[in-house]
Amino acid sequence: MLREKTKNKSVLVVGAGLVGTLEACFMAKRGYQVHLYEYRPDIRTLEHVPGRSINLAMSLRGRTGLKAIGVEDKVIRDHGIPMYGRMIHNTDGSTRPIPYNKDGKCIYSVGRRFVNEVLLTKAEEYPNLNIHFTHKLTTCRLDKGEATFVNTVSGEQVTRRADLVIGCDGAYSNVRKSMMRQPFFNYTQNYIPHGYMELCIPPTPEGGFAMPANYLHIWPRGQFMMIALPNQDCSWTVTLFMPFPAFEGLSTPELLLSYFKTHYPDAIPLIGREKLIKDFFANEALPMIYVKCSPYHVGSTGLLMGDAAHAMVPFYGQGMNCGMEDCVVLDELLDQYKDDFATVLPAYSAKRNPDAEAIVDLALYNYIEMRDLVNSRAFLLRRKFDDLLSTIMPKYWLPLYTMVTFTRTPYHKCISRKKWQDRVVKHILSVVGMAGVAAGVFLAKSDPLHVLSCSHLSQLPALLSRTWVAATSLSITRK
Ligand code: FAD
Ligand code: EGO
């Protein structure tokens, strides 16, 4: 089974999170000698795993990665909870479901720990893959394919060499840090003013879900937002997003309760008054960062993937999905260029960077848009508008969220199509507006003064033709 070309080559993956473990499996499947290093102990042996976000929304891009190594069914069919749409919660406690689409497409709520464990167990099935837990990367020389770890149990230092070192060590990547002094490596990181805190809605006394289970629940409140994703044990993980000063302002149980009464009254009995107070003050608000850098490779011996390469704010539910798609994209390029790292790595940087930066931008854009939609009515209206257009023009109007979540359209193309759509909407609206003016003029029975003041009407034919040209050129490029 193992291929001649790859079996004598070694790959070292740093970080056994969602992306690192998946990437290690991909490389083991190709026949490489893979060593996977992880700072933490084996999470399968821990009772409690510290860290962020208990569950995540998984969609097509993530599933494509899981499928390639044969664990999609295990995660999605046996474990994932389908969410067929959003459930919008209004301030008065009323709710409204909005399906993602007509054909029953859905996203899945999956447990971070479960997915990571399935991947680790899969990784152990490859005889050419070794996992080294409790090894923290301290320094690395990517240009030499070298990495140094400290064994956090014994204190011992080990330096390893490989043909390729892949950094999948998350948003605060140490591997990335080692690239900072390399000429032409560009890097930015930004914190947003919001923090997040995870709370929990327990199962009902009967042991069922306290809210309709197959939805992503959203409480849109402008600057404040809250979402909830279902867990296997019928509980919900609730994530509260607020600017950090607002978290600090909620300094007493009274202030917390009155804040919830104002913004999320229906959530108080769901979480439970006492539990809300206990959990809120036992937890802390966590920051959100986004990172862009380029290129992702160093020569033919170093590469960054997942959050290490492109951490994003969680407002699109795409961080893990994008990281898992990274693995698929690299695998395709390894096929295309016959596992020649010197060709594959630059090609990967060139192909993936525009798409990764596009989804980092889209996630940030969603943050700003959701933050500025003052209430759930505004949220609904925006969604309705998008859905209306896709009903009128289902052939070439996919709402942005649909394109990102339910297709593998390269992220940068999602943005260019969205921009194109926005231009068409503007044209349609101005044509409609012009037609309105024309009707007004007609009704004014050709009062010469009035007509003069509407001289921009002469632009109408041009506008109409532009809209038409745009529409036809799209239908051509679509074929
Ligand atoms: P990580 O999951 O951070 O894994 C990095 C691994 O590297 C860890 O195991 C860590 O211990 C290890 N490591 C770190 N440093 C070292 C070192 N020096 N030496 C050795 N090992 C090291 N994405 C979605 O697709 N859908 C969602 O719904 C979603 N919701 C989210 C909600 C929140 C609140 C947040 C914060 C993120 C969310 N994401 C979501 C994003 C998702 O969590 C990340 O994109 C994903 O975890 C990235 O995986 P990764 O393997 O690249 O990094
Ligand atoms: C108008 C209406 C403009 C993450 C709606 C933009 C994101 C954005 C954080 C949801 C769903 C998975 C998520 C929708 C929009 C996860 C997501 C969405 C949140 C917050 C999230 C949707 C975890 C943006 N997907 N999404 O439309 O259902 O719309 F609300 Cl705060």
Task: Report CA(170)–ligand 1 centroid distance (Å).
Answer: 5
Nearest residue (CA) to ligand 2, atom 12: 317
Q: Which string of b and e fits 442-477 if b means at least 16 CB within 10 Å?
A: eeeeeeeeeeeeeeeeeeeeebeebbeeeeeebeee
Cα–Cα distance measured from residue 305 to residue 307, given in angstroms and rounded to the nearest whole number = 7
Task: Report CA(239)–ligand 1 centroid distance (Å).
Answer: 17
Ligand whose nearest atom lies closest to the CA of 89: 2
CA 160, 163, 166, 167 dihedral sign is positive
Question: Which pair of structure tokens corresponds to residue 81?
Answer: 């909870």
Ligand whose nearest atom lies closest to the CA of 383: 2
Q: Between the CA atoms of 91, 370, 283 and 174, what dihedral angle is there, to the nearest 10 degrees?
A: 170
CA angle in degrees (0–180, nearest 5) for 386-391-395: 100
Hey, is 173 helix, strand or coil? coil
CB-defined site of ligand 2, < 6 Å: 57, 86, 216, 218, 225, 227, 241, 314-317, 366, 369-370, 373, 379, 382-383, 401
From first to last of its 479 residues, the chain has per-residue pLDDT tens of 446 778 799 999 999 999 999 999 999 999 999 999 999 999 999 887 766 569 999 999 999 999 999 999 999 999 999 999 999 999 999 999 989 887 889 999 999 999 999 999 999 999 999 999 999 999 999 999 999 999 999 999 999 999 999 999 999 999 999 999 899 999 999 999 999 999 999 999 999 999 999 999 999 998 999 999 999 999 999 999 999 999 999 999 999 999 999 999 999 999 999 999 999 999 999 999 999 999 999 999 999 999 999 999 999 999 999 999 999 999 999 999 999 999 999 999 999 999 999 999 999 998 998 887 767 677 677 777 777 777 777 777 788 899 999 999 999 999 998 888 778 777 877 787 778 777 776 766 655 444 444 444 444 444 444 444 444 444 433 33
Nearest residue (CA) to ligand 1, atom 15: 169
Is the pTM for the entire model greater than 0.85? yes
DSSP annotation of 152 reads T
Task: Report CA(17)–ligand 1 centroid distance (Å).
Answer: 6
Ligand whose nearest atom lies closest to the CA of 218: 2
CB-defined site of ligand 1, < 6 Å: 14-20, 37-40, 52-53, 56-57, 136-137, 168-170, 174, 196, 239, 306-308, 314, 317-321, 323
Q: Which amino acid is residue 469, in one-letter code?
A: V
Q: Give how far the C-alpha of residue 266 lies from the chain's centroid of Cα atoms, to the nearest Å.
A: 28
Task: Report CA(56)–ligand 1 centroid distance (Å).
Answer: 11
Helix (H) or strand (E) holding 378: helix 376-392
Phi and psi of 231, rounded to 5°? Answer: -110, 160
Cα–Cα distance measured from residue 119 to residue 112, given in angstroms and rounded to the nearest whole number = 11
Cα–Cα distance measured from residue 460 to residue 435, given in angstroms and rounded to the nearest whole number = 8
Q: Which atom of ligand 1 approaches the CA of 288 most closely?
A: 36
Question: Which pair of structure tokens corresponds to residue 427?
Answer: 């044209």
Q: Give how far the C-alpha of residue 157 lies from the chain's centroid of Cα atoms, to the nearest Å.
A: 35
Q: How far, in Å, are 26, 134, 170, 310, 353 from residue 151 at the CA level?
A: 26, 6, 19, 27, 33
Hey, is 199 helix, strand or coil? strand
